[in-house]
Amino acid sequence: MKIKDNVQKVEIPEGVSATVEGKELTIKGPKGEVKKTFIQPTIVFKVENNEIVFNIKKFTKVEKSLLGTYKAHIKNLAKGVTEGHEYVLKICSGHFPMNVSIKNNKFQVKNYLGEKIPRILQVNPDVEVKVDGDKVTITGINKETVSQTAASIEQLTRRSNFDRRVFQDGIYIVNKDGKEIK
């Protein structure tokens, strides 16, 4: 089923500017600049009067769902350049005292389960990682890189064949960007 309205608009928040070059959207704000490429050939967009105008060649279910995805991406980009994104992880070490540090964009976990060789993760330079006691805070302006870094840190201490209800050693995501996990 086709929908007749093939022009949709998304407002750009105050204090944020946007430019389009081909299929690449650049959002600039007080905290920095983020670029995102949208590759769907049936959706064309441009910036007019502080709005992003989407012109859809054929408005089917696929394009409608992609348009919602594009709107969510633009909202996340605008939030990132104005407020920033933050993930919080908790360090749980019940069996062995785990040492966590960050040096030269390398996240390092020493003495995890008594291991002699430290586990090391190269951190994206666009992301800021802070270790404070038993909490790890990850901040940045691009939600995709911040969330991927948090997931990679959580994955760094993942162990298979252990019951997580009993053996809880590791680093776990406690607070996603605006959503507290219980």
> For the chain, how many residues are written?
182
Percent of the chain with pLDDT over 70: 96
Do the two domains 7-82 and 85-180 of this chain adopt the same fold?
Answer: yes
Task: Kindly report the CATH number that applies to the domain delimited by 85-180.
Answer: 3.90.930.12
Cα radius of gyration rounded to whole Å, the chain: 21
Hey, what CATH topology would domain 7-82 get? Outer Surface Protein A; domain 3 (3.90.930)
Average pLDDT over residues 61-68: 86
User: Is the pLDDT at 102 greater than 60, yes or no?
Assistant: yes
Examine the pLDDT at 4 and tell me if it is beyond 70: no
**Segment 30-34 long-range contacts (CB within 8 Å, at least 24 positions apart):** 30/81, 30/82, 31/80, 31/81, 31/82, 31/83, 31/84, 31/141, 32/81, 32/141, 33/81, 34/77, 34/80, 34/81, 34/141, 34/142
